Amino acid sequence: MQIGIPTESIHGEHRVAATPETVKKLIHAGHQVVLERGAGTKAAYLDESYLQVGAKITEDAYQGSDIILKVRAPQGAEIQKLPQDSCVIALFDPYRNPELEQFAAQQVNAFALELLPRTLSRAQNMDVLSSQANLAGYKAVLLAANAYQRMFPMLMTAAGTVKPARVVVMGVGVAGLQAIATAKRLGAVVEATDLRPTAKDQVESLGGKWLDVPMSAEEQDRANEAAKNGYGWMPGEQYIQDQALIVDKAVANADIVITTALLPGRDAPRLIQAETVAKMKPGSVIVDMAVETGGNVAGSECGKTVITANGVHILGVPNIPATVATEASALYARNVYNFLETLFDADQKFALNQDDEIQKALLITHAGQVLLKRG
Residues with active-site annotation: 118, 124, 127, 130, 231
Contact 89, 339 (CB under 8 A): yes
Distance CA 175, CA 66 (A): 34
Contact 43, 325 (CB under 8 A): yes
Burial class (CB in 10 A: 0-12, 13-18, 19+), 242: middle
C-beta neighbour count of 301 within 10 angstroms: 14
Q: Which amino acid is at 353?
A: N
Please list the alpha-helical segments (H only) found in 305-356.
325-340
Contact 316, 132 (CB under 8 A): no
Look at residue 107 and give its three-state secondary structure. coil
Look at residue 125 and give its three-state secondary structure. helix
